[in-house]
């Protein structure tokens, strides 16, 4: 599916992000609030993750919203998907203060539309226009908005996920949850408990200094989790990024499950139960397409970025297509019968359901998936456009997918080359059926690219 990426000045694919006090100041947050309040009227929900800068930034955003006549409901500290769920259910829009997986010194703002999805490109450009060239005026005294605090609303999100599954389906399953001191401290243990699981937590106290591990749930950062899974005899471990829209897993043997394989496992289970289309970016490993097709389902590819996945899922469903699942190969998965955004709590719950339904161990299920070998690389260069043009010409005899960058498709492998929109780098991903084949494909492409970038 071809769709255009717009060049935004402030907002990236996941909202505004930056170092607090340098790129992201309370003044900017106030302007974002005023701009949003000018574009969207009604009752706006706000929330934040556990970062130390969250309180000052959320207050600034709220002030801008109130001044431009919106009513504000402050949902307190909660995961991004929890706020998105609440907005979809009962608000006219929202703003989430989070920097997701970035280190503690970062923070950001994500704008959420009334349907619970992140604001799309065209609307974000309008918002940026208002931020860079402010033309709003504060409402007069009788129209200034009112604020309500509603931290208890988080329970609605927890209950929605628990009730999505058969009662007590997790009974007898023991799970270690590592929310990484983030907002999922308030949700994922409660969700899994509600499903009947026995839950142990690690880094389970909210703390914006992230004393246990960084917000990115990397294999290195999850060594303590892996140890606790093995020593406690748990069925698996689950960890979230800083705003819990992603979930990654450790199997019962203490091994990190590569996120494309996590995606493939949940896709396999979903496609086994219902038939339809799965939506994912062109950067996702072929292991997902293989299991999807094996179950008689179809796959649709989008540009890289969860917003493109979510919006493609929505537009396909509006046209009458049956879309059953979507997500990215980074642990960010979208369950359309729940909501149209990545949801780490729902992903953790789904893993419990899969183990309960199959009666198998997680390592057995993952080992049964087709084996793939992925190489990710990047090159610093300002000649990104030239590289892509040259690849298009040189590989024109092969099967190409130009959804995002240049993807060269071969029988059992593919390579994707993309130029970053914000930095002078190009990213290269190779996905093949063996380490040997991915290395050969990688070397061939690097030869070609280096001739252009160093020539």
Q: Taking the CA of residue 438 as centre, how many other CA atoms within 13 Å lie in the half-sphere pointing to its CB?
A: 18
Question: Does the footprint of Mg ion cover residue 50 (CB under 5 A)?
Answer: no
34 versus 241: smaller Cβ distance to Mg ion: 241
d(CA 343, CA 382): 35
- The CB density around residue 208, as the number of other CB atoms within 10 Å, is 20
The piece of 133-141, 237-245, 248-256, 299-307 that touches Mg ion (CB under 5 A) is: 237-245
Q: Does 328 bind Mg ion (CB under 5 A)?
A: no
Distance of CA 302 to the CA centre of its chain: 15
- Report how far apart, in Å, the C-alpha atoms of 85 and of each of 37, 47, 70 are: 20, 12, 20
Task: Assess contact for 343 and 81: CB atoms under 8 A.
Answer: yes
Active site residues: 100
* Interface with Mg ion in residues 259-318 (CB under 5 A): none
How many binding residues for Mg ion (CB under 5 A)? 4
At 285, give phi and psi (nearest 5°): -60, 150
Helices marked H in 319-361 — which ranges?
344-358
The span of 18-26, 184-192, 245-253, 444-452 binding Mg ion (CB under 5 A) equals 245-253
Q: Which of 49, 121, 245, 259 binds Mg ion (CB under 5 A)?
A: 245
Identity of the residue, 128 or 245, whose beta carbon is nearer to Mg ion in the bound complex: 245
Query: Are 208 and 54 in contact, with CB atoms under 8 Å apart?
Result: yes
The C-alpha atoms of residue 269 and residue 267 are separated, in whole angstroms, by 5
Pick the closest to residue 335 from 199, 202, 165, 173 (CA basis): 165
Is residue 241 within the footprint of Mg ion (CB under 5 A)? yes
- In angstroms, give the least distance from the CB of 417 to Mg ion: 25
Q: Does 216 bind Mg ion (CB under 5 A)?
A: no
243 binds Mg ion (CB under 5 A): yes
- Tell me which residue has its CB nearest to Mg ion: 100
Choose between 243 and 289: whose C-beta lies nearer to Mg ion.
Answer: 243
Q: In terms of CB distance, is 58 or 430 closer to Mg ion?
A: 58
Q: Smallest distance from the beta carbon of 201 to Mg ion, in angstroms?
A: 19
In the complex, minimum distance from the CB of residue 219 to Mg ion, in angstroms, rounded to a whole number: 17
For position 100 contacting Mg ion by CB under 5 A, the verdict is: yes
Nearer to Mg ion, 277 or 283 (CB): 283
**HSE-up of residue 91 (Cα within 13 Å, Cβ side):** 29
Which parts of this chain interact with Mg ion (CB under 5 A)?
100, 241, 243, 245
């Amino acid at each position: 599916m071809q769709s255009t990426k717009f060049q935004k000045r402030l907002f990236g694919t996941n909202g505004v992000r930056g170092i607090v006090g340098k790129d992201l100041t309370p003044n900017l947050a106030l302007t974002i609030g005023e701009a949003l309040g000018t574009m969207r009227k009604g009752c706006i929900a706000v929330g934040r993750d556990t970062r130390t800068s969250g309180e000052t930034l959320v207050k600034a955003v709220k002030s801008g919203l109130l001044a431009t006549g919106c009513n504000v409901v402050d949902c307190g500290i909660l995961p991004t998907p929890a706020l998105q769920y609440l907005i979809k259910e009962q608000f006219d829009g929202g703003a989430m203060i989070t920097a997701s997986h970035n280190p503690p010194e970062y923070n950001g703002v994500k704008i959420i539309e009334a349907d619970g999805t992140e604001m799309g490109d065209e609307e974000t450009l309008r918002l940026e226009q208002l931020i860079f060239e402010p033309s709003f005026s504060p409402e007069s005294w009788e129209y200034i908005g009112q604020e309500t605090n509603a931290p208890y609303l988080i329970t609605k999100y927890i209950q929605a996920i628990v009730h999505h599954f058969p009662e007590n389906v997790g009974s007898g399953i023991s799970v270690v949850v590592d929310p990484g001191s983030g907002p999922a401290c308030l949700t994922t243990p409660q969700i899994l408990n509600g499903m009947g699981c026995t839950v142990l937590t690690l880094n389970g106290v909210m703390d914006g200094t992230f004393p246990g591990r960084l917000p990115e749930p990397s294999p290195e950062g999850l060594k303590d989790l892996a140890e606790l899974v093995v020593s406690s005899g748990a069925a698996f471990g689950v960890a979230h990024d800083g705003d819990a829209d992603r979930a990654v897993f450790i199997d019962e043997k203490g091994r990190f499950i590569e996120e494309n394989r996590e995606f493939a496992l949940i896709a396999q289970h979903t496609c086994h139960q219902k038939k339809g289309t799965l939506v994912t970016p062109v950067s996702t490993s072929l292991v997902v397409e293989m299991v999807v097709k094996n179950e008689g389902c179809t796959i649709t590819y989008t540009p890289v970025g969860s917003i493109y996945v979510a919006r493609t899922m929505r537009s396909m469903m509006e046209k009458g297509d049956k879309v059953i699942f979507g997500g990215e190969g980074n642990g960010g998965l979208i369950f359309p019968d729940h909501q149209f955004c990545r949801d780490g709590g729902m992903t953790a719950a789904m893993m419990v359901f899969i183990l309960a339904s199959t009666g198998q161990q997680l390592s057995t299920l993952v080992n049964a998936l087709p084996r793939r070998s992925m190489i990710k690389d990047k090159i610093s260069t300002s000649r990104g456009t030239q590289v892509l043009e040259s690849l298009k010409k040189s590989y024109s005899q092969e099967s190409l997918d130009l959804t995002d960058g240049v993807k060269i498709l071969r029988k059992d492998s593919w390579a994707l080359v993309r130029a970053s929109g914000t930095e002078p780098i190009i990213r290269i991903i190779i996905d093949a059926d063996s380490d040997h084949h991915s290395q050969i494909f990688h070397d061939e492409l690097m030869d070609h690219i280096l001739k252009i970038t160093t020539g």
